[in-house]
Amino acid sequence: MTPETTAEMLARMKGMYQVERVAFSGGECTLNRKFLIESIKYLKRINNGVRIHVDTNGSLLTSDYIDELVDAGMTDIGIDLKALSLDTFTRITAVSKDAERYLKTAWNAVKYILDNHDIFIGIGIPYNQALTTPEEIRAMGEEIAQMSTDVQVSLLDYRPAFKRRDLTIPTAAEMAEMKSILNATGLNNVIAQTEEGYIGP
């Protein structure tokens, strides 16, 4: 599939479902930089009013890559910050080689976007008690709040799937507690995803 056929398919789907936003997501869409940039450029060319969202773990988002995405037409981005500590990041991602670089790149990407680009950014934080402590959630909140207290933060209930089927789904009460911890750091726009629905800001 070419960037042109991808963009044309997305434009058709946008019309079919009568939505204003399309998303590039899954399989870490930033891995193929040239394909992603060209797809966004072409989509913007054939459908100028469309909002284009990129969903990513942020591990490859250097400042020049971010600039290129924005110049191509990206209007929205969601970055999942898996952890603050390297140990937790490695435990969640099962990545060891270059893990520190990936972790730093993702955090730096959030700061760079907030400081330099007027686009929507949402931050995802996965939570499962088997992987992340409340103390680390608090530390992540404090780090984000230093960058912006109003950025949207989505607390995601990390569920059993794929190689981590041993995990237990966090309860709604657990997620509400983690949301309170994030709010206490000064973050004003925290949404918690739970198996019972969303707990809004």
Listed by start position, the domains of the chain span 1-52, 57-199
Name which of 44, 64, 65 is nearest 56 in CA terms: 65
pLDDT in tens, the chain (201 residues): 999 999 999 999 999 999 999 999 988 999 999 999 999 999 999 998 999 999 999 999 999 999 999 999 999 999 999 999 999 999 999 898 999 999 999 999 999 999 999 999 999 999 999 999 999 999 999 999 999 999 999 999 987 666 677 888 999 999 999 999 999 999 999 999 999 999 988
Burial degree of 23 (CB within 10 A; 0-12, 13-18, 19+)? middle
Q: Tell me the three state secondary structure of residue 75.
A: coil
Name which of 56, 46, 53, 48 is nearest 21 in CA terms: 53
Instruction: State which amino acid sits at residue 103.
Output: L
Q: Per the CATH hierarchy, to which homologous superfamily does domain 57-199 belong?
A: Aldolase class I (3.20.20.70)
* Alpha-helix residue ranges (DSSP H) falling in the chain: 3-17, 33-46, 63-72, 86-93, 99-116, 134-147, 172-184
Q: What is the pTM of this model?
A: 0.93
Q: How far apart are the first and last CA of the chain?
A: 40
